[in-house]
Amino acid sequence: MCGIVGYNGKNQAAAILIDSLKRLEYRGYDSAGIAVFDTNVVEVYKEKGRIVDLEKTLPSISGTVGIGHTRWATHGRPNKVNAHPHTSGNIAVVHNGIIENYQQLKEKLSRTGYEFVSDTDTEALAHLINHYYKDNLIDAVISALKDIRGSYAIAAICGSELVAARKDSPLVIGIGEGENFIASDIPAILKYTRKIIFLDDLEVASITPDGVFFFDTCKSPIEKKINLIEWNIEAAEKSGYEHFMLKEIHEQPRALHETFAGRISELEGNISFEGSNLTESQIKDISRISIIACGTSYNAGFLGKYLFEQLAGVHVDIEIASEFRYAHSSPGSLVIVITQSGETADTLAALREAKSSGCRTLAITNVMGSTVTREVDNVIYTRSGPEIGVAATKTFISQLGVLYLLALYFGKIRGKISSDQMKRMLVAMKMLPAQITRILNNKEKILKFADTFSSSSDFFFIGRTLNYPIALEGALKLKEISYIHAEGYAAGELKHGPLALITKNTPVVAIATKGLTYDKVVNNIKEIKARDAPVLAIADEKDSEIEKYVDAVIRIPTTEDILSPVLSTVVVQLLSYYIAKARNCPIDQPRNLAKSVTVE
């Protein structure tokens, strides 16, 4: 995700900004820029690509106040014009997050004479701050923030003033001697200071060389606590988490929030997508959908099959990309490829095959500017932020988020769901990020089960209908990172073979959330218990029956039946993580596996 840095102090700003930005490189980015106030003007330098590319273009810059940014594109392609900082008059702004109403703001500001040069949402914020500017930056920023909807961490300069603010995106302030700092994350400034203040939502800070002053959005002063950081740089890059995978699992509430941002209007029961030009009549005419993907993306697509069939009344074939090219069946009239990296060779080959047979194509991906985005007809971004751990976690959750949105959107257009159903679903979907946080805050039982069974050599994950793809994903996660043999099975299939393997030494994770097939899954659990296997159930928090049949239960918050796979996913991810940790496995880089597989 984007990285922000800011500096106001006794030293030259440019070198400190560049150095700090380099320490945010691990977050992933596609362009970088800085703005420094030099005597009378704000000078802006930005480039597409790496920070070293930007560095090569920099003249000698004098000025002791400035801001910097690494951009991970969400609105507009990764290029120099869209790179931050964005300016309006003498004001320069960097931003992390999504301004959901930027289109309306852009129209309004254009009418009053502001000229837009980029495709970004951030530029609207720069002009808005300028619009409100009278004689000081902090008042202008506070006024502008009242007009924007969405998430943000921002840093802005005007003259020698430096202001920061946040809502839903991280920002920290570093306290130095005669100099103070802003950063998205602690490692960026740990070299300069260990005294850190965490900015909270809807707080604004004015950063001067001699002090930092905090306010709420009514400009009432706030007292903040200084934290002394004792981590080293490597630990800090993982924000204190032991592995990127664990950090990314914990980033899921935010990733899903970003996936939904600006796309859901639960009051009107509407969903909208930027980047998709499928018309209503094309959506009504779809006779069959093919979803094509690999690995974890395939498992997301498999859940998508159930969603499109249930919510939009359209048949879906789910295809493994490496097999699809050699199949002799023709694809559906819409082909959806799912690939977090946008670079998986098998998926790209399948996409090309599908295009050659003349069907419409749509990609769900996380990486703007990736190969898939250049070859496909329509793109929907998952907006999960960069994922570093090889085992996909937050990108999977966001892929599910997009699939729910798409299936509902198609369902509404095809007349398969009522406006009331739509509103109910959207309200429930908006609650998912907070419900995921509840699971993350309550993981003792998962840890206990993981410790008890970490030396097992075989595991089964079972589920029916919507939970079957999550059983597949649970088994995939476990085998990827813990090297335990694990299989995901449709619970009803156990008795047709794998039951022969079930003994007291084969733990089974049964996804047994309430819904159409609950009673049948309970029957399958009884069959397993009759063979003495230990069973962990993932069940609804209101289910008072399940513990009679199993050895341990992990509860998930109550939601619409159809949404519960999102919550069960978090449990199987944590379980896999803690088992792998107990086995001392190299969790972020499992043997033989790669994050992006660019060979067929």
Residue 595 annotated as catalytic: yes
Structure tokens at 28: 């992933």
Q: Residue 549 gets which letter from DSSP?
A: T
Q: Residue 551 gets which letter from DSSP?
A: S
Size of the site for ligand G6P (CB under 6 A): 17
Position among 10, 117, 593, 598 found at the interface with ligand G6P (CB under 6 A):
593
Instruction: CB nearer to ligand G6P: give 414 or 479.
Output: 479
Residue 158 annotated as catalytic: no
Sheet containing strand 535-540, strands side by side:
485-490, 458-463, 508-511, 535-540, 552-556
Residues ≥6 apart with Cβ < 8 Å to 127 = 88, 105, 109, 114, 116
Q: Does 392 help bind ligand G6P (rule: CB under 6 A)?
A: yes
Task: Give the ranges where 485-563 is alpha helix by DSSP (H).
Answer: 518-529
Instruction: CB nearer to ligand G6P: give 392 or 536.
Output: 392
List the catalytic residue out of 2, 294, 359, 585.
2
Compute the least distance from the CB of residue 491 to ligand G6P, in Å.
24
Compute the least distance from the CB of residue 299 to ligand G6P, in Å.
8
Instruction: CB nearer to ligand G6P: give 118 or 382.
Output: 382
Compute the least distance from the CB of residue 574 to ligand G6P, in Å.
17
Q: Does 385 help bind ligand G6P (rule: CB under 6 A)?
A: no
User: Is 455 exposed, middle or buried (CB count within 10 Å of its CB: 0-12, 13-18, 19+)?
Assistant: exposed
Q: Does 294 help bind ligand G6P (rule: CB under 6 A)?
A: yes
Compute the least distance from the CB of residue 372 to ligand G6P, in Å.
8
Structure tokens at 590: 């499992």
Compute the least distance from the CB of residue 72 to ligand G6P, in Å.
16
**H or E element: which one contains 421?**
helix 419-440
Of the candidates 182, 160, 158, the one whose C-alpha atom is nearest the C-alpha of residue 172 is 182
Residue 135 backbone dihedrals phi, psi, to 5 degrees? -140, 0
Position among 118, 130, 340, 576 found at the interface with ligand G6P (CB under 6 A):
340
User: Is 77 exposed, middle or buried (CB count within 10 Å of its CB: 0-12, 13-18, 19+)?
Assistant: middle
Asked if 581 contacts 242 with a C-beta cutoff of 8 angstroms, the reply is yes
Amino acid at 466: L
Per CB under 6 A, the segment of 75-83, 119-127, 288-296, 444-452 that binds ligand G6P is: 288-296
Q: Does 475 help bind ligand G6P (rule: CB under 6 A)?
A: no
Position among 8, 347, 398, 573 found at the interface with ligand G6P (CB under 6 A):
347
Q: Does 382 help bind ligand G6P (rule: CB under 6 A)?
A: no
Q: Does 597 help bind ligand G6P (rule: CB under 6 A)?
A: yes
Instruction: CB nearer to ligand G6P: give 294 or 472.
Output: 294
| CA 335 to each of CA 235, 309, 364: distance values in angstroms, whole numbers, following the listed order | 42, 15, 11
Shortest-Cβ-distance residue relative to ligand G6P: 295
Compute the least distance from the CB of residue 331 to ligand G6P, in Å.
18
Distance from chain centroid for Cα 396: 9
Compute the least distance from the CB of residue 472 to ligand G6P, in Å.
12
Residues 188-227, interacting with ligand G6P (CB under 6 A): none
Q: Does 2 help bind ligand G6P (rule: CB under 6 A)?
A: no
Distance from chain centroid for Cα 1: 9
Give one DSSP letter per residue of 251-295, joined into a string.
Answer: THHHHHHHHHTTTEETTTTEE--SS----HHHHHH--EEEEEE-H
Q: Does 576 help bind ligand G6P (rule: CB under 6 A)?
A: no
Give one DSSP letter per residue of 194-211, joined into a string.
Answer: SEEEEPPTTEEEEE-SS-
Position among 390, 403, 422, 429 found at the interface with ligand G6P (CB under 6 A):
390
Establish how many alpha carbons lie within 13 A of residue 306's alpha carbon, considering only the half-sphere containing its beta carbon: 17
Q: Does 524 help bind ligand G6P (rule: CB under 6 A)?
A: no
Q: Does 339 help bind ligand G6P (rule: CB under 6 A)?
A: yes
Query: Is there a cis peptide before residue 507, judged by omega within 30 degrees of 0?
Result: no
Instruction: CB nearer to ligand G6P: give 61 or 597.
Output: 597
Compute the least distance from the CB of residue 593 to ligand G6P, in Å.
5
Per CB under 6 A, the segment of 178-186, 376-384, 446-454, 587-595 that binds ligand G6P is: 587-595
**What's the rounded Cα separation, in Å, for the pair 169 and 98?**
9
Report, as residue numbers or ranges, the catalytic residues.
Answer: 2, 595
**Residues making contact with ligand G6P (CB under 6 A):** 294-297, 339-341, 344, 347, 390-392, 593-597
